[in-house]
Amino acid sequence: MSESSPIGHGGRLTIDLSALRANWRILAKAAECPETAAVIKADAYGCGIARAAPALWREGCRTFFVAHLSEGLTARQALPDAAIYVLNGFPPGSAPAYRAAGLRPVLGSRDEVAEWAAANRAEGVTRPAALHVDTGMNRLGLSVPEGLALAGDPIVAEAGIDLLMSHLVSAEVEHDPLTDRQAAAFAQVRDAYPGIRASLANSSGDFLPSCRADLARPGYALYGGNPRPGRDNPMHPVVRLDAGILQVREVPAGETAGYNARWTAHGPRRLATLSIGYADGYPRSSTGRGEAVVGGVRCPFAGNVSMDLIILDVTEAPQDALRRGAPATLIGDGLDLDTVGRNAGTIGYEILTNLGRRYERVYRD
């Protein structure tokens, strides 16, 4: 962050596209699959589809996954030639919109397969789609018996199924037996669909030999999250969040700070207020546990995270770092996504995808 606060914004979100591209290369190497895709749902995990997706395309990524049809339409504008799969089912009557944009639905039921096949027949053009078989998540997809029963049915070809996929439940948990059961079930289904590409590995699954197939589809780790909790993070940080100091004040022992007076000074303290809050996507649950880095020193939050402001206890920070407009770092300088998530009682995914729209956004590549 520069020496002064961003004009007109409470904080500055810096997104390093070169780090994003480097992370895709790392994950592609770890996956050892013929192809590595990129999951760009939730507006590329808060980083912006319009900028993140073309950066990944330039790096060599050719297949992308989004959650909703609307995201697919945004992705198509950024990626005219990419294969784009839409994960969250296939709403009734939506085939014309999918086909007009060249999007590929991920089909998770016999009814969905039949509707897409009917659209192919009506147009006289077989457009591709993926088939989702559930191996343990119990959210979307055909059951394993349903997937096996469908194999060999002519409707599979009529629906243009070109990808078979499932979703891992807990690949980030080392030696979780459920992952092995899922991998075995998926291998059984995969054998029933010869000649169709298969995809199982997510970010964490890229590092598990049992989960490798034809197409890896990492998400969170692309954006800097640790795919191997408990081990050193092999990924480069992609996002950095800084906010400028609005005001610094001295308070005596016994003085409170913030709504509901939840924080009390245990001695003479120095407080700094930042122009950022839960309306910017920084979780209120960080109250009492959150931190920011000021002048190289981690400074704890003082009082509730409010809608637009956060108070820091900067007593231990160097005096020359406490100028009006000087930066405080809320993500970065050792406060990575997973640490910020733990401090908020949640996960880094939620921190990343909730990054607000009030920030000044700076892209570096």
Distance between CA 167 and CA 178 in Å, rounded?
Answer: 12
Q: Name every residue whose Cβ is closer than 8 Å to that of residue 63 and which is 6 or more positions away in sequence.
A: 35, 37, 38, 82, 83, 84, 85, 215, 217
CA angle 165, 145, 211 (to 5 degrees): 35
Spatial separation of the C-alpha atoms in residues 155 and 158, rounded to whole Å: 5
Query: Which residue type occupies 164?
Result: L
- 139 labelled as ligand-binding? yes
| Catalytic position from the list 29, 259, 278, 282 | 259
Catalytic, 29? Answer no
Q: Looking at the chain, which runs of residues are DSSP E strands?
A: 11-16, 35-36, 38-39, 63-66, 83-86, 104-107, 129-132, 161-165, 197-199, 215-216, 239-251, 256-257, 263-264, 269-274, 291-294, 297-300, 310-313, 327-331, 360-364
259 in active site: yes
Of these residues, 29, 41, 193, 220, which one is catalytic? 41
Q: What secondary structure does DSSP assign to 18-68, as a single string?
A: HHHHHHHHHHHHHHT-SEE-EE-HHHHHTT-HHHHHHHHHHHT--EEEESS
Characterize 196-213 residue by residue with b for buried, 16 or more Cβ atoms within 10 angstroms of its Cβ, and e for exposed.
bbbbbbbbbbbbbeebbb
- Is 307 annotated in some ligand binding site? yes
Exposed e or buried b per residue across 59-78, where buried means at least 16 C-beta atoms within 10 angstroms of its C-beta? bebebbbbbebebbbbbbeb
DSSP string covering 122-135: HHT----EEEEB-S
Which residues are known catalytic residues?
41, 259
Binding region: 139, 307
Binding region for substrate: 139, 307
